[in-house]
Amino acid sequence: MKEIHHWIDGNEYKGTSGRFSDVFNPATGEIQAKLSLATKAELDHAVERAAVAQVKWGATNPQRRARVMMEFVRLINRDMDKLAEVLSSEHGKTLPDAKGDVQRGLEVIEFCIGAPHLLKGEFTDSAGPGIDMYSMRQPLGVVAGITPFNFPAMIPLWKLGPALAAGNAMILKPSERDPSVPLMLAALLQEAGLPAGVLQVVNGDKDSVDAILDNPVIQAVGFVGSTPIAQYIYERAAATGKRAQCFGGAKNHMIIMPDADMDQAADALVGAGYGAAGERCMAISVAVPVGDKTADALIERLIPRIEKLKVGPYTAGDDVDYGPVVTAAAKANILRLVQSGIDQGAELVVDGRDFNLQGYENGFFVGPHLFDRVTPDMDIYKTEIFGPVLSTVRAGSYEEAIGLAMSHEYGNGTAIYTRDGDTARDFASRINIGMVGINVPIPVPLAYHTFGGWKKSGFGDLNQHGPDAFRFYTRTKTVTARWPSGIKEGGEFNFRAME
């Protein structure tokens, strides 16, 4: 059985804990590898070595660090097919989706090539007699990234790119469910010229997370995952004086106005709701048509589109719409929530419970589900299902529709489909959600803007990637300098305002 270990000081580092986690092939249900889980001592060793390596890396001028990022981009493009293949084999998503996973992370690395500009400080000449003031952005030191299973390339790249370009060293703890791609990225960074020890990949479970939070050398933690864990990490990191940026769950609503193009809206919902088997924090899981006529027209268009979805392993070709979910436990939880929707009175319009794929009976495949007449008190509305399940909540008016999204505890992403500019502008202005799409179903910002949710979808005051990432991974130091000229005066004992 293949064993997967850690990446420390620029080489594979074989774990010594004797504890392992199973890495499955989600399409077959078979264990394809054993992942070594780190001890606290191993995590602390990785941090200690990273702290040594960071000193020289942090003193390297930003342009030279940017050149490493530039070469890293070239190497990712060179190995795109290889990365996607490994990603699909461990996660289960289709090859085109896996390449998209890598590509959206790659775009952040491209943005990080501009680090010299993003790290510039400010300068005020002659703030007072012979006095200049200037600010510098300096790296924090050693930082950590804790990343989820659903984007095993993209989110590690979102974390490590800005952190390293800003001059930090990083401890990356990827998901234990699909750990191979982060290790491959670490090797590519080494090939690109990153000094050994500046990026350490330590595989582990909660013990490793707690070791990260308890280690006094680590100055900041970035996390993406479920809301309970995001809140736990945020609170514990803050209690130990660490900077924290933690992103949690989502329940993204898409409002469909009566004037919307119904075919366009239906196509958008199918892609946003069922792509990657719904295992996206920006998936649309709630459709909110305004008015029964709108709802009926929407459901009428959704049913044939959903029933035609092709579900299968990534090896079945690029025309597969989505693959399996990541684990047997995830499949069981999705089907449990589907049953709760039925029990609580929702109308199951498309029933995927009996989905079975010949030859892959032990795989973690879940058929597509569509609910109608869902109400806000139901578990399928309140809970993040993270599966191929779309719930339709009928609203009687625009105000009722926007109120649903605004009153939900999650605030990651939302969308509205309409042809009316006034409605769209009002929606964008009023909605208390971090990312908004107008006739765009999954409003993931491009790399030079920032990504982040509100309410219980995000803990911390700075977002991922874009300019916020460089603010998060640096500290500002302000210097007031005076170079006296002429005869020096005696000491001053009062604090005087600048003249």
How many Å apart are CA 189 and CA 196, to the nearest integer? Answer: 10
**Alpha carbon of residue 47 to chain centroid:** 23
CATH number at residue 204: 3.40.605.10
* Shared-domain flag, residues 71 and 211: yes
The three-state secondary structure class of 483 is coil
Tell me how many domains the chain contains. 2
In a domain, 207, yes or no: yes
Question: Within this chain, do residues 238 and 283 fall inside the same structural domain, yes or no?
Answer: no
Contacts of 208 (CB under 8 A, 6+ apart): 37, 38, 40, 43, 173, 202
Cα dist from 45 to 143, 156, 200, 212, 445, whole Å = 14, 21, 10, 11, 37
Give the model's pLDDT for residue 32. 97
Specify if 107 maps to a domain.
Answer: yes
Hey, how many other C-beta atoms are within 10 angstroms of the C-beta on 476? Answer: 11
Q: Is residue 487 part of a domain?
A: no
Establish if 494 belongs to a structural domain: no
In a domain, 15, yes or no: yes
- Cβ-based burial of 487 (10 A; exposed 0-12, middle 13-18, buried ≥19): exposed
Q: What is the pLDDT of residues 190-249, one digit of tens each?
A: 999 999 999 999 999 999 999 999 999 999 999 999 999 999 999 999 999 999 999 999
70 and 113 in contact (C-beta within 8 Å)? yes
Same domain, 228 and 334: no
Residue 495 lies in a domain: no
- The neighbouring-strand residues paired with 294 are none
Do 129 and 193 fall into the same domain? yes
Q: Evaluate whether residue 335 is within a structural domain.
A: yes
* Residue 269 and residue 180 share a domain: no
The answer to whether the beta carbons of residues 426 and 447 sit under 8 Å apart is no
Where in the sequence is the domain holding 293, given as residue range(s)?
252-438
What is the Cα–Cα distance from 472 to 332, expressed in whole angstroms? 38
Whether residue 329 sits in one domain with residue 225: no
pLDDT of residue 492: 66
Both 234 and 257 in one domain: the answer is: no
Query: Does some domain include residue 492?
Result: no
Give the pLDDT of residue 497: 63
Which structure tokens are listed for 324? 């399996």
Q: Is 112 a catalytic residue?
A: no
Q: What is the Cα–Cα distance from 337 to 351, expressed in whole angstroms? A: 13
Domain shared by 96 and 232, yes or no: yes
In 396-476, where does DSSP find H-type helix?
398-407, 421-430, 466-472
All residues at 6 or more sequence positions from 12 whose CB lies less than 8 Å from its CB, including other chains: 5, 6, 183
Residue 479, beta-bridge partner list: 134
Cα distance between residue 85 and residue 25, in whole Å: 12
Pair (464, 381) in one structural domain: no
Q: Can you give the CATH number for the domain in which 284 is found?
A: 3.40.309.10
Distance CA 449, CA 22 (A): 37
**What pLDDT was estimated at residue 486?**
62
Kindly state whether residues 292 and 418 are assigned to the same domain: yes
DSSP string, 339-380: HHHHHTT-EEEE--TT---TT-TTS-----EEEES--TTSHH
Residue-level pLDDT at 107:
97
Q: Which residues of the chain have pLDDT under 70?
A: 486-493, 495-499
Tens digit of pLDDT for each residue in 45-71? Answer: 999 999 999 999 999 999 999 999 999
Which candidate in 281, 380, 389, 433 is catalytic? 281
Q: How far apart are CA 416 and CA 437, in angstroms?
A: 6
Q: Return the H-helix or E-strand segment holding 394.
A: none
Q: Are residues 227 and 356 in the same domain?
A: no
- pLDDT score, position 127: 85
Asked if 414 and 437 count as a contact pair (C-beta separation under 8 A), the reply is yes
Co-location of 206 and 321 in the same domain: no
DSSP string across 248-293: ----EEEEE-TTS-HHHHHHHHHHHHHGGGG--TT-EEEEEEBSHH
